[in-house]
Structure 1
Amino acid sequence: MKLSWTLQEEVSLKDFLKSQGVSRRLFKTLKEEPELVTLNQLPAFLWYTGKPGDFLEVKLPDEEAGGFMEPEPIDLVIVFEDEHVIVLDKQPGVAVIPSMNQPNGTIANGLLWHYQQQGLAYTVHILTRLDRDTSGLMLIAKHRYAHTLLAADQKQGRIYRSYAALAEGHVVQETGFIHQPIGRKEGSIIEREVRQDGQDALTYYRIQERFARHTLLEMKLATGRTHQIRVHMAFLGHPLAGDTLYGGRTDVLKRQALHSQQLRFTHPFTKRILNFHSAIPADFLIK
């Protein structure tokens, strides 16, 4: 894939690409493979100076899938796709990244297959990862450069997400927040807990609907800690339905009742604001 710009002022190619958010890793590749850069369709080194009206092109290097990820045909629900990003609506019960215990059948395996069918030499760049049993919207960068730009936005809090969560019991306040630090629970590599030596974590909530024994909430993350919503709701005494890791029961749902229902971000190249919604799963709407 090629990226292109028409220069508006006299500037070194290195300084211009730095202003466009090119990562150190990509800079290193461009130095090692100068044929990837052209100025007015002629090979150019990064120390060259461009002038107003010059046409700069950069060919993105091929990427290799890391670890033990292999392409595999997986049913992916693609909500949006262009040459830079993908938005998926993930089904519950599907892991996002392969592990030693589950080397296949994941979202990452399916993405590699999807790229392979398009003739794209890309690896997997997940921006908004979801737990295995969490459903809903996910943002994926298709190539390394898009990932660099979107990761910078994510760090600055410019990728907006909200979740639907079905909590056990009756949450009293209509709106509120939970500001409690989260850390790994001693003796576990998976479970987290509220602990004073943990990382800062802030979650906002708003009640959407009340049921006989449950409360449906809209949850918004101000931080992005592992299992943050699940841990914070358990801390309040209202674990998510089906979330056995944090004290939830399975009489209503067999998986944690958490769904990524809204995703909004600025496209890293077109600069358009993209906003996506995913319907609350039917099994959340109990009576």
Structure 2
Amino acid sequence: MRFTWQNTSSTPMKVKTLLSQHGVTRSLLKKVKFHGGAILVNGQAVLAIHMLHGGETVTMVTPAEIGNDHLGVSDLPINILYEDRDFLIVNKPAGVASVPAHALPDNTLANRVKGYYRAQGYQNEVVHITTRLDRDTSGIVLFAKHHFAHSIIDHQLKAHAMKKMYLAVVAGTITEDHGWFDQPIGRAADSFIKRTVTPAGKPSLTEYWVVKRFTDRTVVRVRLHSGRTHQIRVHFAAAGHPLLGDALYDGPLDAGIDRQALHCMQLQFADPFLGRPLVTFAPLPADLARLIETN
């Protein structure tokens, strides 16, 4: 793949400095150098330490990414919300794990995406999953289609620059129209899977807005300002409002839904390749829509 920039600075700098300004990491530069890529200045191959003086066209050619044989291929379909050269955004159904585990080795979303890449004949077959959802949470999952895009998204995630919005239905009535949970989350002492609010945990910040109230439940829109495991589920459960259908965190199991009532409905991030924000929406799945419409 080829990525090209114009050097608009008149201050002398090395090529690697310019590339770094555009999000190219040292690890990617190593792949370009040692695995068949190239750096071109005005069409001529150069090293990363080549000096620029202004006005040059700089091109980075990245090598093909061969798929990992340890990740199996699934022919099951995916629901594509958006795709271009750099990113694939998928609407994950509830009940499908994001990535393989011992109990779910071959039927995950990552397996399906690899199958899709192969069916399309894409040169890059490496599956770069950049956001994940719990198996029984539905909604948006973002895949980077090459190493460069993955490193850029990683940087945005670490800087908390990505905006993820969820819709959840929780038990009880939340009286405040807008609120925050600012409580650290860590692993529960009695479970490998379960998390809990604990002073020894990592800082975790969740923001919510009430969408609709019923006598026994509340529909909320939720934004994560950090990315802890089970964060939404843990914070609402700790506040006395566990998600409907969430057996792990003692949510009501007789409310008309057989999984936690949680859906990632919106994703927004800065796309440097398009030069603008990229915003994607995922429609509500039928089980959540019925839960909201019938109450």
TM-score higher than 0.5 = yes
The verdict on how the C-alpha distance between 1:202 and 1:35 changes in structure 2, with shifts beyond 3 A counting, is: closer
**% of aligned pairs identical?**
36
The offset of 1:195, in angstroms, is 0.8
2:102 aligned with 1:100, yes or no? yes
Deviation track 1:172-226 (CA, whole Å, cap 9, x = no partner) reads 2222111111100113221100111111111111111122421111111111111
The amino acid of 2:40's aligned partner reads: T
2:5 aligned with 1:2, yes or no? no
What is the match of residue 119 of structure 1?
122
The offset of 1:278, in angstroms, is 2.3
The amino acid of 2:263's aligned partner reads: H
Following the alignment from structure 1 to structure 2, what is the Cα–Cα distance between the partners of residues 275 and 204?
Answer: 19
The verdict on how the C-alpha distance between 1:32 and 1:217 changes in structure 2, with shifts beyond 3 A counting, is: same
Structure 2 alignment gaps of length 5 or more: none
2:290 aligned with 1:283, yes or no? yes
The amino acid of 1:247's aligned partner reads: D
Question: What are the residue-to-residue correspondences of 1:1-287 with 2, within 5 Å?
Answer: 1-9=1-9, 10-33=12-35, 36-66=38-68, 68-116=70-118, 117-251=120-254, 252-281=256-285, 282-285=289-292, 286-287=294-295
Counterpart of 2:248 in 1: which secondary structure?
A: helix
Counterpart of 1:246 in 2: which secondary structure?
A: coil
Counterpart of 1:18 in 2: which secondary structure?
A: helix
Does the 8 A contact of 2:36 with 2:63 survive in 1? no
The offset of 1:62, in angstroms, is 2.4
**TM-score if structure 2 supplies the norm length?**
0.91
The amino acid of 2:279's aligned partner reads: N
Deviation track 1:234-254 (CA, whole Å, cap 9, x = no partner) reads 101111011100001222210
Counterpart of 2:191 in 1: which secondary structure?
A: coil
Following the alignment from structure 1 to structure 2, what is the Cα–Cα distance between the partners of residues 35 and 221?
Answer: 37
The verdict on how the C-alpha distance between 1:67 and 1:166 changes in structure 2, with shifts beyond 3 A counting, is: farther
Deviation track 1:81-103 (CA, whole Å, cap 9, x = no partner) reads 11011221111111110112111
Following the alignment from structure 2 to structure 1, what is the Cα–Cα distance between the partners of residues 265 and 36?
Answer: 44
Following the alignment from structure 1 to structure 2, what is the Cα–Cα distance between the partners of residues 200 and 207?
Answer: 23
Following the alignment from structure 1 to structure 2, what is the Cα–Cα distance between the partners of residues 141 and 77?
Answer: 16
The amino acid of 2:191's aligned partner reads: S
Does the 8 A contact of 2:124 with 2:145 survive in 1? no
The amino acid of 2:8's aligned partner reads: Q
**TM-score if structure 1 supplies the norm length?**
0.93
Following the alignment from structure 1 to structure 2, what is the Cα–Cα distance between the partners of residues 239 and 34?
Answer: 52
The offset of 1:280, in angstroms, is 3.0
The verdict on how the C-alpha distance between 1:256 and 1:67 changes in structure 2, with shifts beyond 3 A counting, is: farther
The offset of 1:150, in angstroms, is 1.7
> For the aligned residues, what is the CA RMSD?
1.8
